[in-house]
Amino acid sequence: MARHWRKPYQPKSQFNSVAVWTISMWVVLATLVVIARHGYI
pLDDT digits (tens, 9 = 90+) for 3-39: 555 555 555 666 678 888 999 999 999 999 999 998 7
Q: Are 35 and 41 in contact (CB under 8 A)?
A: yes
Find the domain containing 6 and state its range: 1-41
Compute CA distances 32 → 16, 18, 39, whole Å. Answer: 24, 21, 10
DSSP 1-41: -HHHHHHHHHHHHHHHHHHHHHHHHHHHHHHHHHHHHHT--
The pLDDT value recorded for residue 39 is 79
